[in-house]
Amino acid sequence: MKYPAVILAFLLLLAACDQSGKNKSGGDMNVREYFNYGDSGVQTAGVKMIPIQTPIGEFKVWTKRFGNNPRIKVLLLHGGPAATHEYLESFESFFPKEGFEFYEYDQLGSYYSDQPTDSSLWTAERFVEEVEQVRKALGMNKDNFYLYGNSWGGILAMEYALKYQANLKGLIISNMMSSISDYSKYQEKLHDKMRKSAVDSIMDYEAKGKFDDPNYQSLLMTEYYTKHICRLPEWPDGINRTFKHLNYPVYLMMQGPSEFSVGGRLANWDRSKDLPNITVPTLTVGATFDTMDPDHMKWMSTQVKKGKFLLCPDGSHMSMWDDQQHFFPGVIQFIKEVDDGKF
């Protein structure tokens, strides 16, 4: 009878080892543990307003926490500039299943955060310092901090990595090229595929500054946004709320009048030559129907020291919605590979 007991003990040990392996990235974490934020006072559903110091004073930015994982903490940077976290709500359907701790975040000037009007605040350099303050307030560090940036958020993620990558464990640059000049050239190629009359009309409205004209907005939506921003026949509520809540004066100042045309303070932004200075594990995400050139996104992955490229063949600028079957498995796999030390 002694030997069956030994065999049973050995099998139990193997099972325990297997279970610990499954728990490594948090995918099988107990639900109570996953949602235990250590709050002892009023429960806020993970929402935290973080004070931010700027050259003109203190303001507060909105963040919302999901999950508890000391190994994997992902901060989501939305686009715009001055859009909102709302179009990134699709992450809520995928990251909790993996046990990832992640944070939605409205940058300063965006709808759920303070919206000062001093134009000196709207620079990439100032936003980088904001992200660093948010990181510190959320308790992220080089052992667990993953930074995801989409569109303008990708610019911000690159800028942050070039200054503060010592604090990063992994970087995800989603749907953003490393050069506005190259982005503009790719835009011209997309315009060539559109109806000439539609392009001429859009450009005429923009030249006259008629950005609020309903016909201009309708042309943008039907001729461009539904083909290159999100290709779903019916846009998810999160995307619609983002467009509704866009702080347009800040967007216009930094980006230009629309996604159709590039201008503003970011017009001369270019970090292509600096990509080799990014040494942390990096995933670049491109999409076939994006406003950004997927071939450029692939090239970017070869320029950073430890790069990988993910193509969303059915997706556009918001491939986290219109190509979820490729986007989320690829992003999740990257995070797990870095966490496992296999990247």
Distance CA(307)–CA(334), nearest Å, equals: 10
Catalytic residue among 110, 113, 151, 174: 151
What is the separation of C-alpha 114 from the centre of its chain, rounded to a whole number of angstroms?
20
72 Cβ contact list (under 8 Å, min separation 6): 25, 26, 99, 100, 101, 144, 146, 335, 339
Contact yes or no for 101/65 (Cβ under 8 A) = yes
Beta strands in 143-188 (DSSP E): 145-150, 170-174
In 3D space, the residue among 275, 339, 318, 316 whose CA is nearest the CA of residue 70 turns out to be: 339
**Residue 337 class from Cβ within 10 Å (0-12 exposed, 13-18 middle, 19+ buried)?**
middle
Active site residue 290: yes
Catalytic residue among 317, 319, 322, 339: 317
Backbone CA torsion sign across 167, 170, 176, 179: positive
**Residue 286 class from Cβ within 10 Å (0-12 exposed, 13-18 middle, 19+ buried)?**
buried
- State the residue for tokens 């193509």: 311
Active site residue 118: no
Catalytic residue among 106, 290, 293, 322: 290
Q: 325-328: which pairs have CB atoms within 8 A and are 24 or more residues apart?
A: 327/285, 328/94
Active site residue 317: yes
Q: Which positions are annotated as active-site residues?
A: 151, 290, 317
